[in-house]
Amino acid sequence: MVKMIVSIAVSLALLAGAAVFETLFIDAQFAQVREALEVLEEKVREENALPADTQAVQKLWENKKEKLHAVIPHNDISYIDYWLGEADGCIEAGLYADALSKIEVLLVICKQIPQTYALTFENVF
């Protein structure tokens, strides 16, 4: 009986630890992407963003999404891929107002996705 209670307690502790790690990991990955997007947003507002700026953000995102595939669904990742591609196309065409709207959507997505997987009361129950 005691072994069973200890086993259950250890299992619950491991699950809680994994959930906390996952939350911190996702937050850290998206924080870096958000920072890069904020820099890109500022350049777009000043209308001096270059395609190389967007490609740098895309390269950062490519590195992050390799790790994130293990913990978040492909659909969430593909949203960011889609909007980054749209923003890149707008910047290449010199459509800074359109690019700005795409980047703003990206910033919202990068804020909402980590909240979706956060260890909160609403997400647990």
Question: Domains in the chain, start-ordered, CATH in brackets?
Answer: 26-117 (1.20.120)
**pLDDT at residue number 64:** 94
Alpha helices per DSSP H over 69-95: 74-93
pTM of the model: 0.85
Closest by CA to 103, choosing from 70, 80, 71, is 80
Residue 86, burial from CB neighbour count under 10 angstroms (0-12, 13-18, 19+): middle
77: Cα separation from own chain's centroid? 8
CA 34 to CA 89: how far, in whole Å? 19
Q: What is the pLDDT of residues 14-62, one digit of tens each?
A: 998 988 899 999 999 999 999 999 999 999 999 999 999 999 999 999 9
**pLDDT at residue number 125:** 67
